[in-house]
Amino acid sequence: MYIVPLSNLPTVQSGSAGETSAQSGGLPFREVMQQAVQSLQESQQAAAQDTYDLAYGNSADLHTIMIHSAMETTAVETVVQLTSRAVSAYKEIMQMQI
């Protein structure tokens, strides 16, 4: 394992956190969370429409209904995981001593 000397560490620049993560090539957490929530809303709308269609007998395509339901479940789990990891990271940062 190689330990990086302190003298070669990059300096911290003033600016917003979104700018620094965009410069490093990654997506800011805000955009990741917005995309996850947007995906969740879209999948919930599709699943709700499928539910109404099935209840009224307008849908004969059961496998598509099951796919939309599974996509909604996955989107919910993704948002829950992102939220819980953000909260645990926040708690860990708050417990750090300065």
Q: Name the 3-class secondary structure at 60.
A: coil
Could you tell me the pTM of the whole model? 0.62
Domain boundaries, the chain: 27-94
Contact of 75 with 39, CB cutoff 8 Å: yes
- Using one digit for the tens of pLDDT, what is the confidence trace for 31-72? 888 898 999 999 999 989 988 988 888 877 888 888 888 999
